[in-house]
């Protein structure tokens, strides 16, 4: 009988089959249980002997069941480990690496340069009012920039700032000199869009105010920036021009080699000048001088990286961005 039980246990191919064998032998109506029930009908001395041998049979079956159970469990785990094994020799899936937009790279590079020169980096609102964008900056009431042709006005009489210069006014009204700040940010103009003009672009404004700031200091700051960006030996040039909020005012340019044509030429970067006395008056400053400059970041990015159409910077075409991943 034991032999038959052991054979069945050995033959059980999985845990379910083994459970059936257990029930068939040790269950309530199992063969061993039936035998135990039959003991009552025997004479007392026969009963003891038969009882001992049935119990021996029962515990041998229990041992065999436990051993087979362990074997099946081990086989199951082995099979599972085999099935779920990670093949570490397979080439991995490379995560798609992102990168900062070209303009963001240029902006970071510039703000890093100015931070290293001791400037604070501040930002201001894009939705402005006439007073900050024009009035306090000494724009006369009839100035064409105040016209709807050049400026986006909102229906409640406010406007999208046309340059970062309004932050000069905001910063001066909330701080006392001496200070040096730069203001990167988005600006908006009601322009006909072409390869060099967008209706939305970025500027970086600088403002330095102290007791004896001179035009030579301004030139030094611009030169330091140009050298940091374009390398030692970069030449800069100022030539006179008009902005209502500076006097004297100038445009600044650097002498450089165009990356596409290979030609050496002056490259206009932006406007600059000494803060106009009317601007200091509007913010309540006395006994100080200062300089300011501001330039377009798109222009800077285009010439630095050889992008010939400003619209490519805004098309969201990743092929343009991929070319310049991590260049700055
Ligand atoms: C200004 O905006 C003055 N606020 C700059 C300034 C600051 C002068 C402080 C003095 C003191 P302007 O309008 O020239 O100046 O613009 C400055 C730069 O912005 C230009 O040199 C050009 O690089 C860029 N820019 C102007 N219009 C556009 C446009 N539509 N698209 C792209 N870039 C533009």
Q: What is the 3-state secondary structure (H, E, C) of 149-186?
A: CCCCECCCCCEECCCCCHHHHHHHHHCCCCEEEEEEEE
Question: Within this chain, do residues 307 and 163 fall inside the same structural domain, yes or no?
Answer: yes
189 lines ligand 1 (CB under 6 A): yes
Q: Which residue minimizes the CA distance to atom 21 of ligand 1?
A: 270
- Same domain membership, residue 222 and residue 157: yes
Q: In terms of domains, do 15 and 151 share one? A: no
Bigger pLDDT: 197 vs 122: 122
pLDDT of residue 181: 98
What's the total number of domains in the chain?
2
* Same domain, yes or no: 55 and 113: no
Percent of the chain with pLDDT over 90: 58
Task: Compare 311 and 303 and report the one with higher pLDDT.
Answer: 311
* pLDDT of 88: 86
**Same-domain check for residues 165 and 303:** yes
Do 309 and 222 reside in the same domain of the chain? yes
Residue 186 CB less than 6 A away from ligand 1: no
Do 41 and 136 reside in the same domain of the chain? no
Judge contact between 169 and 132, C-beta under 8 A. yes
Pocket of ligand 1 contains residue 295 by CB under 6 Å: yes
The alpha carbon of 162 and the centre of ligand 1 are apart by a number of angstroms equal to 9
Q: What phi and psi, each to the nearest 5 degrees, are found at residue 244?
A: -60, -25
From ligand 1's centre to the CA of 249, what distance in Å?
13
Using an 8 Å Cβ cutoff, are 185 and 124 in contact?
Answer: yes
CA pair distance 268, 253, nearest whole angstrom: 4
Please identify, by atom number, the ligand 1 atom nearest to the C-alpha of residue 191. 30
Residue 295 alpha carbon to ligand 1 centre in Å = 5
Domain that holds residue 67: 2-83
pTM as predicted: 0.73
The reply to whether 21 and 155 lie within a common domain is no
- Terminus-to-terminus CA distance in the chain, angstroms? 85
33 and 167 belong to one structural domain: no
Residue 328 confidence (pLDDT): 41
Q: Per-residue pLDDT for 115 more than 80?
A: yes
The residue to which tokens 């343009």 are assigned: 320
Q: Tell me the β-bridge partners of 266.
A: 255
56 and 109 in a common domain: no
In a domain, 238, yes or no: yes
Residue 327 has pLDDT above 60, yes or no: no
In this predicted structure, the answer to whether residue 108 has a pLDDT above a threshold of 80 is yes
Retrieve residue 291's tokens: 């300089």
Query: Which ligand 1 atom sits closest to the C-alpha of 295?
Result: 18
**Same domain as 190, residue 301:** yes
* DSSP H or E stretch at residue 217: helix 215-230
Query: Rounded to whole angstroms, how far apart are CA atoms 224 and 147?
Result: 36
Q: By alpha-carbon position, which residue is closest to atom 9 of ligand 1?
A: 293
Nearest CA to ligand 1 atom 29: 197
20 is a domain residue: yes
Mean pLDDT for the chain overall: 90
Residue 270 CB-density burial (10 A; 0-12 exposed, 13-18 middle, 19+ buried): buried
pLDDT tens string 202-256: 999 999 999 999 999 999 999 998 888 888 888 889 999 999 999 999 999 888 7
Best probe residue, ligand 1, of 149, 271, 290, 311 (max atoms within 8 Å of C-beta): 271
Q: Are the C-beta atoms of residues 134 and 194 closer than 8 Å to each other?
A: no
Q: Which letter, b or e, does each residue of 243-253 get, where b requires 16 or more Cβ atoms within 10 Å of its Cβ?
A: bbbbeebbbbb
The pLDDT tens digits of the residues spanning 51-94 come to: 889 989 999 999 999 999 999 999 999 999 989 888 888 888 88
**Which pair of tokens denotes residue 22?**
């257990």
Rounded CA gap, 8 and 20, in Å?
A: 10
In a domain, 215, yes or no: yes
Would you place residue 148 in the very low, low, confident or very high pLDDT band (cuts 50, 70, 90)?
low
Neighbouring CB atoms inside 10 A of 263's CB total 8
Q: Is 194 in the pocket of ligand 1 (CB under 6 A)?
A: no
CATH number, domain at 108? Answer: 3.30.930.10
Residue 167 to residue 279: CA distance in whole angstroms:
12
């Amino acid at each position: 009988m034991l032999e038959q039980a052991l054979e069945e246990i050995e033959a059980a191919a999985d845990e379910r089959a083994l459970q059936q064998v257990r029930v068939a032998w040790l269950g309530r109506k199992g063969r061993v249980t039936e035998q135990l029930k039959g003991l009552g009908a025997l004479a007392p001395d026969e009963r003891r002997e038969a009882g001992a041998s049935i119990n021996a049979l029962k515990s041998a079956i229990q041992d065999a069941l436990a051993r087979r159970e362990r074997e099946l469990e081990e086989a199951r785990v082995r099979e599972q480990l085999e099935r779920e094994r990670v093949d570490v020799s397979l080439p991995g899936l490379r995560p798609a690496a992102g990168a900062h937009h070209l303009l963001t790279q240029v902006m970071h590079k510039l703000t890093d340069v100015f931070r290293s020169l001791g400037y604070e980096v501040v930002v201001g609102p894009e939705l402005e009012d006439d007073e900050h964008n024009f009035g306090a900056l000494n724009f006369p009431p009839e100035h064409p920039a105040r016209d709807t042709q050049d400026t986006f006005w909102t229906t409640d009489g406010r406007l999208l700032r046309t340059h970062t210069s309004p932050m000069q006014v905001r910063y001066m009204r909330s701080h006392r000199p001496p200070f040096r700040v730069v203001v990167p940010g988005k600006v908006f103009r009601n322009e006909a869009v072409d390869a060099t003009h967008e209706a939305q672009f970025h500027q970086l404004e600088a403002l330095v105010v102290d007791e004896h700031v001179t035009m030579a200091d301004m030139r030094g700051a611009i030169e330091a920036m140009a050298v940091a960006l374009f390398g030692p030996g970069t030449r800069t040039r100022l030539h006179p021009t008009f902005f209502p909020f500076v006097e004297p005012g100038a445009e600044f340019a650097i002498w450089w080699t165009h990356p596409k044509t290979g030609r050496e030429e002056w490259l206009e970067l932006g406007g600059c000048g000494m803060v106009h006395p009317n601007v200091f008056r509007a913010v309540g400053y006395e006994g100080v001088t200062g300089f300011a400059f501001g330039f377009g970041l798109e222009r800077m990015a285009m010439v630095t990286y050889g992008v010939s159409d400003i619209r490519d910077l805004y098309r969201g075409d990743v092929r343009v961005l991929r070319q310049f991943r991590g260049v700055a």
